[in-house]
Each structure stands twice: as structure tokens, then as C-alpha cells.
Amino acid sequence: MVHRVLVVEDDPATRRALCDRVAAHPELCVAGAAGSLEEGRGLITRVAAEVVLVDLGLPDGDGTELIRLAAGLGREVMVITVFGDDRHVIAAIEAGATGYLLKDSDAESVGACILAQLDGGSPISPSIARRLLMRFREREAPAAAPPADEDVVRLTERETEVLQMVSRGLSNNEIAALLGMSFHTVASHIKHIYRKLAVSSRSEAVFEAVSQGLIRLSKDT
């Protein structure tokens, strides 16, 4: 049996890559793709499919609306996004998403995750799962003392600037050009950011920085 999948992603290159990964799996096929909230709304209501892959940061609105629409029609919804903060994760799950992957997850695993979701599972990126567990523990545990001053993460002004650009989806080369520095300098800043935040990917770095109030996501991210 071949399962039909819809893809809603605004970035053309990412959309093509997701469609290629889905189509490459023998048990999956792409039934349609869209690049905006409006196009996604029409696609979901018009085209029959079992699974909808949804990005949250669409140019004309919040992908959570599409999650609610698709879930209401009985479709499985998997979020694929750069947003790993509590607000986006919880909103997506409450809207009806049963899978949540960050965009820097292993692209090769997307097909397997879709099949796992169709089989009753809930594929979630490890960093998101960890954050949800921590959130649950925080609700159950008594109030903790505020962190010691030495435990507070501090980024330099330049590191904050670089990470803010990372949160907008810019590559190292693009950041280097905008800030007038070399590619290697940008890479060095990002390495220091990873070490300070105890993370190993761009999405995790953005997620942790937003969670700790070190940066703020712009509305057009």
C-alpha cells in the first residue's frame, strides 16, 4: 500500500528536498505541495491524503491553522520546522500534530518517521522530547531556587548577533557577508555558542537561546 502525503513548506529548495525524500520511499508518494498558508488550506481541503507535513513559519500566516484543519479532516500531521521553543511545540500539539521534527533532523529518516506515525507512533526530535520531559518535571517538582549566577549563560554581543541571524535561517556565508567577517570567524562564533548552550545543532541553539531569553524570534522568521 502506498500512502499519500501533502507537503506545506514555503522555502522552494526545502520543499523540493522534502518531496524528494517522501517520493524516494517505496511506501509513500507526494500527493501535492504548497508554499503558503492560503495554498496549503486549498490543498488540504481539495486533495485526499493520509499525512500532511507542515512548516509553522509560513509567509502569510501561522502553520498551526493548517494543523487544526488537517487534524479536523482526520489526517495525520507532522510538523517540520526550525521552531523548537515551548510556545510553538505546545501550540502545534494542541492543534492536533502527532509528530514534530526540527529541520536539521536527519532528512533520510523522514520517510521512516511518517510510517511510524501512521503506525500509531509520535516521531519527535530528541531535543524536543527532552524539552517536553523537562517541562513535565518542572510542573511536578516543587519550585526550585533561582540558578546561581555562574550557571547563567552569557553570550557576547557578537555571538548574540550571529545567533539572531541563525534564527532567521541564514547560512554561515550569508552571515559573514552581512557582518563583514570571514566564514571561519562566523563558524568560530557558532562553535562557542554551541559550547556555552551545551547543544550540537543550529535548531537546538536557537531553541535554547529563545527558552533562556537570550534572543527573540522575529515575526517574519
Q: If you average pLDDT over every residue of the chain, what do you get?
A: 85
CATH 3.40.50.2300 location in the chain: 3-138
Statement: residue 144 has pLDDT above 70:
no
Contact at 8 Å (CB) between 76 and 122? no
| pLDDT category of residue 38 using cuts at 50, 70 and 90 | very high
Query: What does the pLDDT read at residue 48?
Result: 94
Choosing among 1.10.10.10, 3.60.20.10, 1.10.490.130, 3.40.50.10260, the CATH entry for 149-211 is 1.10.10.10
Which pLDDT band, with edges at 50, 70 and 90, does 55 fall under?
Answer: very high
Whether 5 contacts 114, CB under 8 Å: yes
pLDDT at 25 over 80: yes
Per-residue pLDDT at 51 exceeds 90: yes
Residues 178-197, mean pLDDT to the nearest whole number: 89
* Sheet-wide strand order for 51-54: 28-34, 3-8, 51-54, 76-81, 99-102
Residues of the chain with CATH 1.10.10.10: 149-211
According to the model, what pLDDT value does residue 5 have? Answer: 97
Between 134 and 190, residue with greater pLDDT:
190
- Is residue 100 within 8 A of residue 203, CB to CB? The reply is no
Q: What is the pLDDT of residue 211?
A: 81
Does position 148 have pLDDT exceeding 70, yes or no?
no
Report the C-alpha gap between 163 and 67 in whole angstroms.
28
Q: Indicate whether 64 pLDDT > 90.
A: yes
pLDDT tens digits for range 198-217: 887 787 888 888 888 888 87
Render the burial of 181-210: b for 16+ CB within 10 Å, e for the rest.
eeeebbeebbeebbebbebebbbbbbbbbb
Is there a contact between 19 and 6 (Cβ–Cβ < 8 Å)? no
101-134 pLDDT, tens digit per residue, is 888 765 558 898 899 899 888 888 877 777 677 7
Q: Cβ contacts of residue 174 below 8 Å, gap of 6+?
A: 165
So what's the pLDDT on residue 39?
A: 96
CATH superfamily placement of domain 3-138: Response regulator (3.40.50.2300)
Q: Which segments of the chain are extended strands (E)?
A: 3-8, 28-34, 51-54, 57-58, 61-62, 76-81, 99-102
